[in-house]
Chains A and B, each alone.
Chain A
C-alpha cells in the first residue's frame, strides 16, 4: 500500500528496490481499476490484458492521456467526487476531467509536499504566486494552473498573488511582500511563460532593480511557448540571475492527470522521478521501451491515482531518460529531459480547406 512509500525518502530507492515496490502497487492498481471502472475494464479487454502476462512495470497497459478528454473515467461513485480537476485547454478545445475523492486529494498533497521538501526543506515558507487570484475562482473546477497553486498551499506560510486580473503586476502587493520577506527564504511560483512575460519583462523595464536573491523560483508548464520567443531554460535562468540575483531555480514537469507526482529539476538541471512515479520512454514506431539516451514518447507511471485510472498514461510529450540512480545531485531514480509536445499530424488526402489553413 501507498503508506509504505511515505516512510521512505522520496529519492531513496535504487532501481531494483524501486521496481519491485512500484510494480506491486501498479499491478494492484490495474486490477483495482479494472473492477471499479467499466471503461477501463473494456480497455483492458480490448488490448488482450492477462494478469499472468504482466511481469514488469513495462507490461502495465497504458492509454493516451487524451482519453480523459473523451471519457469520464472514474473508479469511485459519482457522489464521492470531492473535486474535478481540468486541464487548461484553450477555448474550443476539449479539456481533461480528473475526478478525485477526498482521500486521493490528500495523498496528492502529501506527496507534493514530500517531493518539494526534498528541494526546499520542510519548513513552511512564504510563496509569491506569479498569477492572478482569479485563477482559483471556480473552486469546483481546478485548472492545471489552479491545481498546482492549490497544491502549494500546504507548504505556504503565506500565499500572495502578484498579478492583477489583467495580468499586470500588482505593484503594491509585490512591494509589500518583499518588504516583509525579502531577507528570508521564500518561493516564487508560476507558469514559465507567465513568469517570463508578465514578471521578468515588467521588472526588466523598471529603473528600480529588486533584490530577489533569497528566492527559489519554481516554474512549470513547459518551455515551448518561450522557445518560440527563442528563450531557452538557460537564458531564463541567466536573465533572472542578472536582473534580480535569483540563483535557485526549480522547474518541474507534471500534469493534472497525475497531480502530486511532479518531476522536479535538481541543481544539475535534471528532472527526477520520485519513488511514487516513474517514466518509460517509448519508441513511436512500435511502443517498445527506449534505452537510456534514446528519444521517444513519454509514458508516466504513478502509484497515486486511485479514484481514477490514471496510473499508467502515455503522454504526447517527447523526452529522454538521461540516466538512473547516478545523477551527481545524489537523488536516486530515473532523471529525464522533456522536449515538449510532439508536432501534430499533417496528413495527405482530402480534408478541410479551412481546417488546416491559417
Chain B
C-alpha cells in the first residue's frame, strides 16, 4: 500500500484481489478505472455528450419495455435534445468551463433512476463518471444501462472511457479506492451513509457534493385553494407525497394554512385527498403502526398535538399548535401530515432551518417567500416550487447548480 497525503492507495496486485474481483461492471470496465487518471476532460455541454444523451433519450422513449416505468420515461424526456439545449443556453460562461475529471457517484438504494440523473449532470459538465448503483436489481437500471451499452458499442465508441456503472457489496476498501481516483464525489444520503462514506479519504484537490436528509413543507392559502378544482389539487399533492411513500426529501411533511377560510379549505383538501388515497394507495400494514407510533411518541413527549380522525390509516393527520424544528424529526412517511394554521408568513420561520429543502406553494407568491428567506438570512430552503412540482427533475438541486458545480472555470486575466 502507498500512503499519499493521507489517502491510502492500494497497489495493483492488492487491487485485483481486494477490489476488482468484487466489482460488477454494468457499463465500462476495469480498464476504464485504471486509466481514469489520463482521461481528457470535455468542455461543458460538449457536442459529443449532448448528442449521446439525446440519442439515449430517443432509445429509451422507443423501448417498449420502458413504457411501464414512469421514472424512466420522465428521465428520457428530461434529456431529450431540446431540453438539453435549453439548459445549455442558461450558462453564459460555458466556453470557459470544462469538467474537473472523474466524478464518483454513490446513488441511493431505493430510487432506481437517481443514478442516471446524477450521472447526467457530471457528463454535461465534461467529466468521466463512476457510478455505484444499488444492489437491488431494478429493471429501470437494467434498461438504462443496456441502452448506454448499445450506444457506446456503436456510434459513441470514443465516449466509452467516460463510463463506469458498477455494483459492489458494502466494502470500505472499494469505496476508498474509487474515492482515491476521483475529482468529485457525489453522495446521495441518508446522513448515516454520508458519514460512513466520508471515512474514505478524498485526494487533496477533490471536491464533494452531499445530499443529506432533508424535509419539506407545503404552504396553502385557504381562500385561493377554495377557488381551485379540489380533485386536481389532490392529484398534485398526491404526486408530491404518496407517489414516493412521502419518503423523498422533497415530499411535504406539513401543510401550513394561511388565509381566512382555513377550516373549510382544510376539510375539503384532506377529504378529497383521502378519497384518492383510499382508492389508489397501497399501504404496507406495518406503516399503520409506524405512523401511529410516531404520533404517540410525539404526543407522550411533548403533547400539544391532536390526531384528526378520518376514514382510515392511509392518511394520518396531526394538528400541531406550535412550529418547532424538532417536529420534522417525527417522520414515518407513508402519508403522515402535520397541519398548522398560521396568521402570517413569518410564523413559519422556525421550520426554515438548515434541514429544510423544498417549500411548495398553492396560492402564495414565490417571490414573497424568497424575499423573506433572504431578509431573515434563513439557513435552509433551497427550492420554492408550485404544489405538484416537488418531484420534477432539475439541474439545480439542494442549492447547487449541479452541472456548474462539477466543472472548473478557466479565468483569463483582463488585458
Q: Which residues of A contact B (CB under 8 A)?
A: 39-40, 42-43, 45-48, 63-64, 66-67, 70-71, 73, 284-287, 297, 314, 316, 318, 342-358
Contact = CB atoms under 8 A, between A and B. Distances in A.
Given A67-B293, A343-B284, A348-B111, A353 B188 contact: yes
A43 B300 contact: yes
Interface in B236-295: 243-249, 251, 283-290, 292-293, 295
B375 interface: no
Contacts of B114: 350
Contacts of A350: 108, 110-111, 114, 188-190, 211, 247-249
A355 B333 contact: no
B313 A286 contact: yes
Interface in B126-176: 132, 134-135, 169-170
Interface stretch (B91-99, B226-234, B302-310): B302-310
B285 A284 contact: yes
A355 B197 CA distance: 12
Interface residues of B, number: 57
Contacts of A354: 109, 170, 190, 192-193, 196
Contact of B296 (A67, A344, A347, A356): A67
Contacts of B317: none
Most buried by B among A71, A285, A352, A357: A352
The secondary structure that dominates the A interface is loop
B189 to A, nearest CB: 7
Contacts of B284: 343, 345-346
A297 B307 contact: no
A265 B239 CA distance: 48
Nearest to A343: B286
Most buried by B among A39, A46, A318, A349: A349
A318 B306 CA distance: 27
A350 B111 CA distance: 6
A284 B193 contact: no
A43 B196 CA distance: 37
Interface of B: 106-111, 114, 132, 134-135, 169-170, 187-190, 192-193, 196-197, 211, 243-249, 251, 283-290, 292-293, 295-297, 299-303, 305-307, 309, 311-314, 333-334
Nearest to B319: A46
A318 B288 CA distance: 13
Nearest to A288: B312
B211 A71 contact: no
A347 B286 contact: no
14 contacts: A42-B302, A63-B293, A63-B300, A67-B297, A285-B312, A285-B313, A287-B292, A342-B286, A345-B286, A345-B290, A345-B334, A350-B111, A354-B109, A357-B135
Contacts of A353: 106-109, 132, 134, 187-188, 190, 193, 197
A349 B297 contact: no
Contact of B303 (A42, A297, A314): A42
A349 B312 CA distance: 23
Nearest to A341: B286
Contact of B247 (A39, A285, A343, A349): A349
A348 B189 CA distance: 14
Contacts of A316: 286, 289
A286 B312 contact: yes
B288 A297 contact: yes
A297 B285 CA distance: 8
Given A46-B305, A349-B248, A354-B190, A318 B285 contact: yes
A341 B105 CA distance: 36
A355 B132 CA distance: 15
A66 B300 CA distance: 12
B111 to A, nearest CB: 6
B135 A314 contact: no
Contacts of B244: 347-349
Contacts of B295: 46
Given A343-B286, A355-B192, A349 B110 contact: yes
A43 B296 contact: yes
A40 B300 contact: yes
A89 to B, nearest CB: 16
Nearest to B246: A349
Nearest to B244: A349
Contacts of B169: 358
A297 B284 CA distance: 12
A47 B245 contact: no
Nearest to A356: B109
Nearest to B284: A345
A28 B114 CA distance: 54
Given A45-B303, A286-B312, A352 B109 contact: yes
